[in-house]
């Protein structure tokens, strides 16, 4: 079944400028801002500006320009925050939640960049 995009979700409102955000990076296709409830010293959300629900929706429907911009912005934030292990950083985690098993809360595609402390197990044991 094709995805239906709910344009009343909170990130859609942020992208329309109806709700403020703490912007980290903004480009033509991508907005990144600090998570309102940070789970680590660095907790940035990277959000494509287009109307995509989740990772598979974005990567199957977005233009190459949107995808390239999104990936590059993600890497730029990791570098700018000093998290990249290849440049002396202590590492990070990138998470994209989707659907009920992924416990996605906001139905507009986003990646979480988390870092600045040891992040523990990737997934809790069942």
21 versus 66: smaller Cβ distance to ligand AMP:
21
Q: How far is the CB of 33 from ligand AMP (least distance, A)?
A: 6
Instruction: Write out the residues near ligand AMP by the rule CB under 6 A.
Output: 10, 19, 21, 33, 35-37, 45, 97, 103-106
Tokens standing for residue 36: 């309102």
23 versus 90: smaller Cβ distance to ligand AMP:
23
55 counts as catalytic:
no
Q: How far is the CB of 91 from ligand AMP (least distance, A)?
A: 20
**E strands within 1-126?**
23-26, 30-34, 42-48, 92-95, 111-115
Q: Is the dihedral of CA 35, 37, 39, 42 positive or negative?
A: positive
Q: How far is the CB of 36 from ligand AMP (least distance, A)?
A: 4
Collapsing DSSP to helix, strand or coil, 113 comes out as strand
The Cα–Cα gap between 64 and 22 comes to 27
37 versus 86: smaller Cβ distance to ligand AMP:
37
Residues tagged active-site = 110
């Amino acid at each position: 079944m094709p995805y239906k995009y709910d344009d009343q979700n909170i990130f859609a409102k942020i992208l329309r400028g109806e709700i403020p955000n703490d912007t980290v990076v903004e480009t033509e296709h991508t907005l990144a801002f600090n998570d309102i409830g940070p789970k680590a010293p660095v907790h940035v959300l990277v959000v494509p500006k287009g109307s995509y629900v989740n990772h598979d929706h974005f990567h199957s429907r977005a233009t190459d320009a949107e995808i390239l911009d999104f990936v590059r912005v993600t890497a730029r934030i990791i570098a700018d925050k000093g998290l990249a292990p290849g440049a002396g950083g202590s590492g990070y985690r990138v998470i994209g939640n989707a659907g009920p098993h992924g416990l996605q809360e906001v139905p507009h595609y986003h990646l979480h960049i988390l870092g600045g402390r040891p992040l523990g197990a990737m997934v809790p044991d069942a």
